[in-house]
Copies of this chain bind each other. A is one copy, B any other.
Amino acid sequence: MTRGTGRDGSPGAPRSVDVARVAGVSQKTVSRVFNDEPYVSADVRRRVLDAAEQLGYRRNNAARALASGRTRSIGVVTLGTALYGPASLLMGVERVVRDTGYALRVVNTMEGDPAGLAGAVGSLLDQGVDGIVISEPIDEPGGEAEPLRVDVPVLVLGAPQPFAASTVLFGGRGADRMARAVVEHLLDLGHATVHHLAGPQRWYAAKDRLEGWRSALAAHGRDEPPVIEGDWSAASGYAAGRELAADPEVTAVFAANDDMAIGLIRALAEAGRRVPQDVSVVGFDDIPVAAYVTPPLTTVRQPFDTVAQEGLKRLVHAIDNPQAQALPASDPPVDLIVRASTQPPPPRTPPGRRRHSVSRSPGEVPPHRLPEKDPSTRR
């Protein structure tokens, strides 16, 4: 076979012995230089580096991994979607992983994948990773059965406590606290209660938001309206909006993501219920267009970068110190961004004069407020 990275009949990539020969040192010394080990004189180091440069030497990772038992790589399990949340998290993870000097391997579990999470993790293990990040896991039916037997540290991002294993760390996203902030914002505005358009409940992220909504409502002694479950898509938000529009009691809706909120708003508008005059709507994610739709969307921004950074710091720590205690979790800040899709509820209309039966050109939308470029309100 051709040697190293050399393809076709090429001479073959230079190895560390070659560098050693050119530099006039032993092969081990070359290894020392490239691993930044102590006890190499500056002079020798230079000679080695020069020789390597001249030869175009690049060390062979397979050999390194084989000899050391470590691959210096971290695997990520993602859902195979371009949804804003998961995609942002993945990018955040990539950014941090590179800084830590690890390489990144990616595998995804598609929803409905027969192998599911276990399969994805297994494939990562096959590749030989030093640690695993599971991003936004979903609850595959039957997946609970095997509690994920792995011998490398695992970091779970965007889920509360799904897996039982001694090596598992959690990078809480605090979505429940964020959801609470949303509900409280709406309650503060004077809404009697808040409806919830939930995400698919197989996603821990969706469950989390539902939980936050539920507990906030309970904490304030409000009654809990029935939950509608969407699938994250604007289409499902639209469908939910048609239902909700028919109910005059609905004055405030918290959608589990911005896409659904946008679909929802459209359905409400078509039904003649104006946002925010008649109904307030809050989304979740702060997708790039959230400030520019009509009306600009009140939503929650998640600190993906912070979460990725904090989580990976702990994962790398666990990899480097197998026996050590896990670093304590830190909760990311909540960022509620108030724009124009929320306001106090309309005055109670007397029963019998249902607001949505009032004649109004369908789809008319309220005057705009200027969209803002930056997070306007923090709490």
Contacts and interface: CB of A to CB of B under 8 A. Distances in A.
Interface of A: 1-8, 10, 58-66, 68-69, 71, 73, 78, 80-84, 87-88, 90-91, 94-95, 98, 103-108, 110, 122-123, 125-128, 151-152, 233-235, 237-238, 258-259, 262-263, 266, 269-270, 287-289, 291-294, 322-323, 361-365, 367-368, 370-371, 373
A238 B58 contact: no
B266 A288 contact: no
13 contacts: A5-B128, A6-B69, A8-B322, A58-B122, A61-B127, A82-B84, A82-B88, A94-B107, A105-B105, A266-B292, A269-B294, A362-B367, A363-B367
Contacts of A1: 68-69
A53 to B, nearest CB: 13
A128 B73 contact: no
A234 B291 contact: yes
B58 A66 contact: no
Contact of A5 (B94, B107, B151): B151
Chain B CB within 10 A, most for which of A10, A127, A288, A291: A288
A90 B94 CA distance: 13
Number of identical protomers: 2
Contacts of A90: 82
Given A4-B69, A128-B60, A363-B368, A80 B105 contact: no
A359 B6 CA distance: 71
A148 B148 CA distance: 42
A370 B83 CA distance: 24
Given A126-B58, A259-B288, A80 B69 contact: no
Contacts of A66: 60, 62-63, 66
Nearest to A150: B5
Contacts of A106: 94, 104-106
Contacts of A84: 82
A220 B68 CA distance: 65
B234 A288 contact: yes
A376 to B, nearest CB: 14
Nearest to A373: B235
Chain B CB within 10 A, most for which of A65, A103, A323: A103
Given A61-B62, A104-B107, 15 more contacts: A5-B69, A7-B322, A58-B122, A80-B95, A82-B88, A95-B108, A104-B105, A237-B292, A238-B371, A269-B368, A270-B368, A293-B294, A294-B365, A363-B368, A364-B365
A65 B152 CA distance: 21
Contacts of A373: 235
A27 to B, nearest CB: 16
Contacts of A289: 234, 258-259, 262-263, 287, 289, 293
B294 A266 contact: yes
A292 B62 contact: no
Chain B CB within 10 A, most for which of A69, A107, A292: A292
A173 to B, nearest CB: 16
Nearest to A291: B234
Contacts of A5: 69, 125, 128, 151-152
B293 A262 contact: yes
B103 A105 contact: yes
A368 B266 contact: yes
